[in-house]
Structure 1
Amino acid sequence: MASSVNIKPGIPVVLRELESSSPLFKQGSSLRVTGKLQAYIVETAIAVITDGGVSLKIDTQHLRDISFRISSIYQFIGELLVHPENDAVLQARVGRNVDGMDLNLYHQSLQLRRQFESELVNSRAN
């Protein structure tokens, strides 16, 4: 029987939420990020995505069957690796092109989801 590996779900976050003071900005956080591809360096397999003026490096070395196009929108799930001086890289385990996604609507849906989850937790506590 194969050993089970505990893979945590990627918590959906907006890039501007990933500042050093954020509770999600810690080594090994499992995150889902979305942004527009600004750069891709083939030799290092590092992609840079941006959203709302904030950028994040994505290590794509473990991804297969994905082609990168500058200015396309991508979504990645992976673990955050925090380096000295708060330089972070997401070690992607899943990546996909999500061209056609309305990022403003996506951000609104994340806010509504968080509001719902908060209300659900509060209603169960009572």
Structure 2
Amino acid sequence: MAPSDIKPGKLVALHELEASSPFFKHGSSLRVTGKLQAHSVETGIAIITDGGVSLKINTKHLTNLSLRIDSIYQFIGELQIQSENDAILQARVGRNVDGIDLNLYYQTMKLRRKFEEEIVRSRTKYWKFSVFFFR
């Protein structure tokens, strides 16, 4: 992947990663947060959970990240969909976020999405106006 091809990770809660979700697409660049439940040093596969939902994380490329069970981590990477809607995030960035208030984080995430939708709507209105006005 060339550096210019790297997309920012969209903020996603683990419960939003179901097969019918618009975020659940092969190659989607996502940012996910959850509590580390398991990690295999041999395979580099970690499992994070949040609210009863889990996601596998491939941590092979995260050489400077020390993982501790029951700590909260945030990962940015590309979603790889395997057979029968089994997903794994190919992490390119990871960090420990112990101490984060997950409820407040998810409230902020909703507000950010609302703001981004309003920006898109206002740009669309402006574009339609300018096309009409400047013909």
Distance (whole Å) between structure 2 residues aligned to residue 62 and residue 112 of structure 1: 32
Distance (whole Å) between structure 2 residues aligned to residue 4 and residue 95 of structure 1: 18
Give the drift of 1:4. 4.8
Q: Which residue of 1 aligns with 2:119?
A: 120
Give the drift of 1:102. 0.6
> Residues 42 and 8 of structure 1: is their aligned pair in 2 closer, same or farther, counting only changes over 3 Å?
same
Instruction: Choose between structure 1 and 2: higher helix proportion.
Output: 2
Alignment of 1:15-30 (within 5 A): 15-30=14-29
Instruction: Choose between structure 1 and 2: higher strand proportion.
Output: 1
Q: Which residue of 1 aligns with 2:46?
A: 47
Distance (whole Å) between structure 2 residues aligned to residue 107 and residue 83 of structure 1: 27
Task: Please list every run of at least 4 consecutive aligned residues from structure 1 whose deviation after the TM superposition is greater than 4 angstroms.
Answer: none
TM-score by length of 2: 0.89
Stretches of structure 1 that go unaligned for 5 or more consecutive residues are none
Q: Which residue of 2 aligns with 1:60?
A: 59
TM-score by length of 1: 0.95
Stretches of structure 2 that go unaligned for 5 or more consecutive residues are 126-135
Distance (whole Å) between structure 1 residues aligned to residue 123 and residue 26 of structure 2: 31
Q: CA RMSD in A?
A: 1.0
* Aligned residues between the structures: 124
- Among the aligned pairs, what percent are the same residue? 69
Distance (whole Å) between structure 1 residues aligned to residue 104 and residue 48 of structure 2: 18
